[in-house]
Amino acid sequence: MQAKEAAEVEIIRLLKAGKDSYISGQALSAALGVSRTAVWKHIEKAREMGFSIEALPSKGYRLNTSADAPFNGIEVSSGLETGFIGRNICFYPSLDSTNMKAFELGRQGAPEGTAVIADSQTGGKGRLGRRWESPAGANLYTSIILRPGIPPRHAHNLTFLSAVAVAETVERFSPVRPTVKWPNDILLDGKKVAGILMEMDSEPDRVHFVVAGIGVNINIKVTAFPDRLRPMATSLYEKSGKETNRAVFTCVLYSSLEKWYKVYREKGFLPLMEAWKGFFASVGKTVTVRSFDSVIEGVCLGVDDDDGALLVKTRAGAIERVVSGDVEIKRDGL
Amino acid sequence: MQAKEAAEVEIIRLLKAGKDSYISGQALSAALGVSRTAVWKHIEKAREMGFSIEALPSKGYRLNTSADAPFNGIEVSSGLETGFIGRNICFYPSLDSTNMKAFELGRQGAPEGTAVIADSQTGGKGRLGRRWESPAGANLYTSIILRPGIPPRHAHNLTFLSAVAVAETVERFSPVRPTVKWPNDILLDGKKVAGILMEMDSEPDRVHFVVAGIGVNINIKVTAFPDRLRPMATSLYEKSGKETNRAVFTCVLYSSLEKWYKVYREKGFLPLMEAWKGFFASVGKTVTVRSFDSVIEGVCLGVDDDDGALLVKTRAGAIERVVSGDVEIKRDGL
């Protein structure tokens, strides 16, 4: 969270840890190292931010966990278990695009792990210059700043890293196992539940920072999608039939990202690729790959372990390595 | 120039074309398609911008070319002969960094060829996070936005392209032939006269835009450099003993950049590499290359024609390909 809300985050974290029991104002005051009046002001602020906090003069404060929790930076921060991803959260009710904002913050020197979250986006961006539908109150739109200290030619590694983290997180909340569509769309039963847009700021020989932009359709109903997207899009809600707490989802996602980022830094790309392939279901399928200047049709043979390039065998028998493009999977969907 | 100064640019261009002869207010009015009162207002504006314009009621207006021309966007624009590079010039008396500003403009969608110029920089940036000395009134600090539509792994091509354009331009104004130090420092007698900082905004598989930041020591005296730089830095003035018109230099540079950019788009990287090698004088020299995590010492064998990687033969006999790093040339300097 932003530093100015640090006390509110700590109070909510303590109240959550106390489950449904009351915590005295004195205990909170001692834990935070501030006066009881200050505690009271922070409680008021947290209430304004949407938290249902009960107070009894003789007992203290209690978080009413049966009430709907708000979705904001305090709620996410108070549930975080990461070391650096999301330790600096910038939450906005609405943004043009979380990637735009994260990029700005990155240019200004924001630390690694800084996360931007918006409840809605007016100009949400997808891959290849496409729009990402971003209505309020339902989904997750977040962008995380990473500073991996790698050359740009390795930046694609982080595409696969993000896909693994998102797929793994979706798997935790979905009754259906997700699959990945090369390189980093996440599908449930062949329909898109999440997308990733990686952008980076670099010199030709070193990356200054990468922004991993992640959009996940969580509680949106398919009927709320524009007509053209309905046949291709789905959400966790559509598959599970119930609402998922967005803050909880976000915390699990950030933990997963951090875990795989550490694996990548310590052991390189190969373990990521192995995990990614566990979600990849296109081998043997007929695919059409459209890139800037070509269309390749053929059978998907798999991916190159070194760099994740898609391997496609054309009808003429040639094996094409695809490093960029948009994949369409023919027949049986995913 | 910015559109709001289009009329001033056109007037200065016409007055320059007229050499030392007078051009009537009526002729200017007709050429610009505005009233004579408007012409007079634009003349006043141009005078405020530092142009010495004489007026005679019976004859019209004349540019006093023996007076010092100002260095600003109008002066550069009125001398441009390019199709797109510099057609949109954003000139500032002072900026933190022209690369920062150009990057911002690029993110906002500024067209290809947009050029930022500052008379001074408070936070001028060099390669590898270094500072670039940027006092006012003497040098050129410019950053150009390019949108080549290439994948990031090819962005280094533009490093070499910029080096060729800068070296070729310096050659026009210097009595000494410049050399390049891999990949893109420009030297005169072994001392740095110009440096280039390439930055880019991209997805892992496509570059949104590249900013080519170019700093050239033009009229600065070496005594004005900080002590630590004096042994390594020089300027056109130090070599030629006379002042170079910065606007003229800028126009030649933009023309050269545009020429090589067209060559690159039409014929690929090889002709650039050939031109670059014409300025490269390190073959056979002993070099030390420092990169993130290694130091390589050996004899420079040349560069790889495919990607410009530096080829160094170590004492152990291995041939190392260097794609990133800082080169120091031992003995006989350049």
Which 3-state string (H, E, C) describes B46-103? HHHCCCCEEEECCCEEEECCCCCCCCCHHHHHCCCCCCCCCCCEEEEEEECCHHHHHH
Does the pLDDT of residue A333 top 80, yes or no? no
In this structure, are strands B89-95 and B115-121 parallel, antiparallel, or unpaired? parallel
Percent of chain A at pLDDT > 90 equals: 77
**Mean pLDDT, range A176-197, rounded to an integer:** 95
Percent of chain B at pLDDT > 90 equals: 77
Question: For A270-310, what is each residue's pLDDT tens digit?
Answer: 999 999 999 999 999 999 998 877 899 999 999 999 889 99
**Mean pLDDT, range A228-257, rounded to an integer:** 95
Model confidence band, residue A331 (pLDDT cutoffs 50, 70, 90): low
Does the pLDDT of residue A252 top 70, yes or no? yes
Question: For A132-156, what is each residue's pLDDT tens digit?
Answer: 888 999 999 999 999 999 988 899 9
Does the pLDDT of residue B332 top 70, yes or no? no
What is the pLDDT, as a whole number, of residue B310? 94
- Output the six-digit token pair for B315: 């004492």
What is the pLDDT, as a whole number, of residue A332? 52
Instruction: For chain A, report the end-to-end CA distance as a whole number of angstroms.
Output: 38
Closest CA in chain A for residue B126: A203
Of A155, A201, A204, the CB nearest to B204: A155
Q: Mutate which of A203, A265, A323 to test chain B, going by most B C-beta atoms within 10 A?
A: A203
What is the pLDDT, as a whole number, of residue B1? 47
Between A303-312, B59-68, B172-181, the lowest mean confidence (pLDDT) is in: B59-68
What is the pLDDT, as a whole number, of residue B3? 58
Q: Do B107 and A100 touch (CB under 8 A)?
A: yes
What is the pLDDT, as a whole number, of residue A74? 93
Of B104, B198, B325, the CB nearest to A203: B198
Which secondary-structure segment (H or E) carries B9? Answer: helix B6-17
CA distances (Å), origin B163, targets A268, B214, B275: 34, 9, 10
Closest CA in chain B for residue A155: B204
Question: Position B74: which residue type?
Answer: I
Does the pLDDT of residue A224 top 50, yes or no? yes
What is the pLDDT, as a whole number, of residue A1? 47
Chain B residues in contact with A159 (beta carbon < 8 A): 204
Residue bearing tokens 């033969």 = B313
Question: For B19-52, what is each residue's pLDDT tens digit?
Answer: 888 999 999 999 999 999 999 999 999 999 999 9
Model confidence band, residue A201 (pLDDT cutoffs 50, 70, 90): very high
The Cα A240–Cα A219 span in angstroms is 10
Does the pLDDT of residue A111 top 90, yes or no? yes
The b-or-e profile of A55-74 (16+ CB within 10 A means b, else e) is: eeeeebbbbeeeeebbbbbb
CA distances (Å), origin A226, targets A97, A126, A133, A303, B20: 19, 15, 8, 33, 65
What is the pLDDT, as a whole number, of residue A334? 39
What is the pLDDT, as a whole number, of residue A2? 55
Does the pLDDT of residue A173 top 60, yes or no? yes
Question: For B271-318, what is each residue's pLDDT tens digit?
Answer: 999 999 999 999 999 999 988 778 999 999 999 998 899 999 999 999
Instruction: For chain B, report the end-to-end CA distance as a whole number of angstroms.
Output: 38
Model confidence band, residue A226 (pLDDT cutoffs 50, 70, 90): confident
For this complex, say whether ipTM is above 0.90. no
The Cα B295–Cα B327 span in angstroms is 10
Does the pLDDT of residue B334 top 50, yes or no? no
Does the pLDDT of residue B140 top 90, yes or no? yes
Question: Position A132: which residue type?
Answer: W
The Cα B22–Cα B30 span in angstroms is 15
**Mean pLDDT, range A83-111, rounded to an integer:** 94
* Cβ proximity of B326 and B291 under 8 Å: yes
Does the pLDDT of residue B213 top 50, yes or no? yes
Question: For B66-91, what is each residue's pLDDT tens digit?
Answer: 888 899 999 999 999 999 999 999 99
* Cβ proximity of B331 and B287 under 8 Å: no
CB-based contacts of A264, cutoff 8 Å, min separation 6: A148, A157, A158, A161, A271, A272
* Cβ proximity of A71 and A51 under 8 Å: no
**Mean pLDDT, range A252-279, rounded to an integer:** 97
Name the more confident of A292 and A58: A58
Category of A4 on φ-ψ map: left (φ > 0), alpha (ψ -120 to 50) or beta: alpha
Residue B130's CB is within 10 A of a number of other CB atoms, namely 11
Nearest to B23 by CA among B50, B56, B66: B56
Sign for the pseudo-dihedral over CA of A206, B88, B100, A147: negative
**Mean pLDDT, range A252-272, rounded to an integer:** 97
The Cα A261–Cα A272 span in angstroms is 9
Closest CA in chain A for residue B100: A107
CB-based contacts of A333, cutoff 8 Å, min separation 6: A189, A190
- Output the six-digit token pair for A180: 């990945």
Residue bearing tokens 């590898």 = B128
The full 3-state SS of chain A, as one line of letters, equals: CCHHHHHHHHHHHHHHHCCCCCECHHHHHHHHCCCHHHHHHHHHHHHHCCCCEEEECCCEEEECCCCCCCCCHHHHHCCCCCCCCCCCEEEEEEECCHHHHHHHHHHCCCCCCCEEEEEEECCCECHHHCECCCCCCCCEEEEEEECCCCCHHHCHHHHHHHHHHHHHHHHHHCCCCCEEECCCEEEECCEEEEEEEEEEEEECCEEEEEEEEEEECCCCCHHHCCHHHCCCECCHHHHHCCCCCHHHHHHHHHHHHHHHHHHHHHHCCHHHHHHHHCCECCCCCEEEEEECCEEEEEEEEEECCCCCCEEEEECCCCEEEECCCEEEECCCCC
Q: For chain A, which domains are there? A: 3-63 (1.10.10.10), 80-277 (3.30.930.10), 286-329 (2.30.30.100)
**Mean pLDDT, range A59-72, rounded to an integer:** 89
The Cα A154–Cα A149 span in angstroms is 10
Question: Position B112: which residue type?
Answer: E
Of B100, B103, B202, the CB nearest to A199: B202
Distance to chain B for A79, nearest Cα, Å: 31
Of B107, B197, B205, the CB nearest to A103: B107
- Under an 8 Å CB criterion, which residues of B touch A? 100, 103-104, 107, 127, 149, 151-153, 155-156, 158-159, 197-206, 208, 292, 323-325
Percent of chain A at pLDDT > 70 equals: 98
CA torsion, ordered B8, B10, B16, B18, to nearest 10 deg: -120
